[in-house]
Structures are given as structure tokens and as C-alpha cells.
A and B are shown apart, each in its own frame.
Chain A
Amino acid sequence: MAEQWSGFSYIVTNLARFIRPHEITFSGVNSTPPMLACLLAKRAYDWDFVYINVAGGVDPEPSAIPVSSSDPLLAEGSASIFANEDFYDLCTRGRMDLTFLGAAQLDGSGCANNSCIGEWAHPKVRLPGGGGGAVMLPTARRACTWRTEHSKRTLVEKLDFVTSWGGMHGVVTPIAVFVKRDGKLALQSWHPESSLDEVRQRTGFGFDATGAGPTAPPTARERAALQSLDPQGQFERDAAIRLR
């Protein structure tokens, strides 16, 4: 039986829940889930925030939702272009409230490997690289990421390579939400159709689960917002995210 709350919706919705009122929030390249999370938050929540993105948009109103999260559509309706140098400089001078960053591997302190599987100089797999990560993760006020696969090869005890240090504030997978507590990722909640046991079994690092419980289900407005962003379910199909 299909799950009641798809992994795709779980990730996008829980990324959106990391966004806070009035804060400057950034979404980058190769980042479809956080792009959708920012657009969802604009539609589902009563409060506003400053949404900036890698296409140079500032609070854009795109006429369509692009497949590429760096598409120029994401600057439509923007009254300014806040280009690549601008948002990196904003971050390093300490004024980026929240940035979303990608990660191939994460460790228990929320550091990220985006570079390689195996040894850097002779990689078994050459990965895309960290983009903004090495500069943004240690300088943004908060950084959050997602993994579409929750497994011991993505959530590891030791990274093959530390592309970005500084520790994510939040991590969302198809079955769990982690937040940073005392410098370590702690379990905040698990997918209502998963369990603490399953999260432990499928996670390569140890974590504190004090106070964790099932994730609050999506509100009607969160559901409606995601539905309006992906009316045909194309993003959901393309993402092909499974709980197990």
C-alpha cells in the first residue's frame, strides 16, 4: 500500500518548516526540494520571509515552477537581481539567516561530503562538489539539507572527504528530521509510518533521540500549497523518493 505521506512531500514540507518569519533564506543550484520548500512556505504560512535564490531572484513570483532550481524563471517578478557574488558575500559577512545546501554524505555533526566516494585523488565516484558549502556552512546562521536516501552509506560515522565543515542545523530524509543539539545531530521526529528503531537501524552515526516523536502530519495548507506547485505530480515522480 502506498504511504499516506510520500517521502517527497515529507522532505519538501519539513524543509519548509525550517524557514522562519522575516529571515533571509537562500536556495541554490541542484536544489529542487528546497526551491519547492521556499515556494511552499510563501503559500502555506501567514508570515512572510525574504526568499533569495541562485537565479538572482528576491521574493520572485515565477510564472511557472522550473525543473532547474537555478532557472531564470526564479527571478521573474523580482525587483532586483541579487547575483552570485552578492549572496555569497551576504553569507560570509554573517547575514544569511538560512541557507539550504546539498550533501551526498553527512556525519553525526552535520558536516558534509559532496566531493567523492573513496580517496579524493583517486575517487571511486567523483561527485559534483560542494558549490557554496565550504564557505556557506561555517558562515550562515543556519544551514539545512536533505537526503533522498536514508541509509548507512549516506548518513555515515566518518565522511570520505569533508567538503563542508560547520554542521547543518537541520537534516530531512524520507523518514526522519534531525536538528543540531550541542553540536551533534539529534533526532527531532520520524515519519509517522516509520519508527525510532527503523531510523536507528538505517543511520550510520549514533544520535540522541530525547523528546523525539512522530512528525506532525502536513497541514491542509501545506498540502494545498505543494499540490498547487506540483499539480500533475511531475516533480514527485521525477524525484522518485521511496521511504524504503
Chain B
Amino acid sequence: MSSGFASKDKAVSLSELVALVPDGASLGLGGSFLHRGPFAFVRELIRQEKRNIEIIKQSPGYDIDILCRAGVAARARCGIVAMEGNFGLAPGYRRAVEQGHLKLEEHACASLTAGLRAAAFGVPFMPCGGLHGSDLVRINGWKAIDDPYGSGATTYVIPAIAPDFAVIHASSVDRQGNVRVAGTSHWDRIMTRAAKSVLVVAEEVSDEPFADQPELTVVPYFMVRNYAIVKHGAWPGSCWPFYPIDYPAVQAYLEDGAEALARHLDAAPEMATRAEARQHG
């Protein structure tokens, strides 16, 4: 059996992509706060009523908040969680932690990255600079080791973190499933190397020959299990350079109650795509 995903026929629908995720899986999500997160994928997790999902992301916000609100997320490893901008704390996440519904492993962003690097590099743990004096060391039971080469320096080491899936929202893919991201890739690169497989939601299939500028490809097709195309899939967040944050939609999402959540899910762009597919199908 091949170690990668050698097939060049990877296009599936969003619901087929999400159906690959079993209850209890750990998901490393791409993007940062309201920027280029795999939000259509996250909403589909809710529609498919996934349970006991672990979220791994340095700076989640809307994604973890809505998954807490819908009872999908049960565990999380993250560094900072907020809606950002003028919205402040993520209320669904906050409530879930305070009420004991979400088991949190609190990291610094860089310690989470160190754990992902350990998995990506194929070693059991990875040194991480800093962390001295932080209570995070105590609550996580992180160990420090002396430099075996005798510099006298002491470094904390973080155990490997290997998500079952990395899920990223990309600017475009080519037909084979090579992945391009415009602007910053945040932590998507290390996330895809650490995870056991990669699921991609992209704005579009590009007909450009990616071989003309291979350096723009962040993830090669053989690492990608499957991809789905969802135009505007990072809504209500941004996807540079296509669209900015939809602030009124974030505001509406933050209204309390099950009805507000249902309205938000129904207003999502992937619902329009689905309706269109049914008409043409």
C-alpha cells in the first residue's frame, strides 16, 4: 500500500469530504482567527452531527466557537481563542470551558507548533524556546532537558502532536489536488506535514499550470486525501485576495440561541452551492 494519496482523482463534494471524518477524530484546522479558516467544512461537521471531535489550532476563533456551541468539539489544543476585531472573547468556547464541556490543553502558539513539528519531523518530541516560568509548563507536565552537548542551556520539550486530519481552506487547487494559498500560509504548512492526512476546501479549481510556478504550491497532491470546491467557503471570515471579513454576518452569528445558530448555518454560502447542484442534478 502506498504511504501517500497517489490518486489524481480527488474532487468530492463538501458533504463527502466531511463524511471522511469519524466521531472522535482530531482535526488540525488551518488559518488564523477570522482569516482563511476552513469554515464551510466546520459548519458541515455540525450538519452531519459529528461528536467528540478534537480541535488543534494555534489561534482558532469562530471555528471552535461554533463547534462548541453545536456540541461537536469535546477537546481542544490551542494557544489563543477569540473572535478578534471588536468582538472580543469567543462566547461559545468560553462557556464550554467554564462548564466543563470542552477539555482544554492550553498551549502557547509556538509550543503547539513544536508538537506539530515533532510529528512532522518523525521524532517523539521537539524543543521549544521560551516557556520558562510559565504555569503552562506545570499544567501540561512539560519536561525540560539539559543540552546533551554541554552548552548548559535547558530547553522545554513538547510531545508530538499528530492530528488525524489537517483541514485547510485554500485559494485554489489544480485538478490533481495541488494546493495554493495566497498571502500568508499561517501555520497551514506545518499542520499538513504533521497530520496523518490532509483534507482541502478550495475556492476554485485553477486551470493554470501549477508547474510554471511550483514554489507557489503549499501542499503537493500526494499529501491530499481529497478536496472539495466551495466558493466563499471561508465565510464569514476573509479569504485573501477574494473577500474580506463579513462583519455583519459575524455579528448576527453572535446572537444567542439555537435559532440564531440555525439562521447562520442556513445563510452560509455552501447552502447556495448545494441548492444549485440539486437544480442542475
Q: Which A residues lie at the B interface, using CB under 8 A? A: 29-30, 54-56, 67-72, 75, 81, 83-85, 88, 91-93, 111, 114-115, 120-139, 161-166, 238
Contact = CB atoms under 8 A, between A and B. Distances in A.
Interface in B245-260: 245, 247
B135 A29 contact: no
Given A54-B32, A88-B113, A161-B135, A133 B108 contact: yes
Q: Is the interface of A mostly helix, strand, loop or mixed?
A: loop
A55 B135 CA distance: 28
A131 B33 contact: no
B129 A67 contact: no
Given A72-B241, A138-B131, 15 more contacts: A30-B33, A67-B85, A71-B35, A75-B184, A84-B186, A84-B187, A114-B80, A120-B139, A124-B98, A126-B104, A127-B89, A132-B109, A134-B136, A161-B135, A165-B134
A56 B32 contact: no
Interface residues of B, number: 52
A235 B20 CA distance: 43
Interface of B: 32-35, 58-59, 78-82, 84-86, 89-90, 93-94, 97-98, 100, 104, 106-111, 113, 128-136, 139, 183-187, 189-190, 238, 240-241, 244-245, 247
Contacts of A85: 113, 187, 189-190
A75 B132 contact: no
B183 A72 contact: yes
A139 B130 contact: yes
A120 B134 CA distance: 13
Nearest to A74: B184
The 7 A-B pairs of least Cβ separation, nearest first, read: A165-B133, A92-B129, A56-B184, A131-B80, A135-B130, A72-B240, A134-B108
Contacts of A124: 98
B130 A129 contact: no
20 contacts: A29-B59, A55-B183, A55-B184, A72-B240, A81-B185, A88-B109, A92-B129, A122-B100, A126-B94, A126-B98, A127-B89, A128-B90, A132-B109, A135-B128, A135-B129, A138-B130, A162-B134, A163-B136, A164-B108, A166-B130
Contacts of B104: 126
Contacts of B130: 91-92, 134-139, 166
B59 A131 contact: yes
Nearest to A167: B133
B185 A123 contact: no
B80 A130 contact: yes
B58 A134 contact: no
Contacts of B244: 71
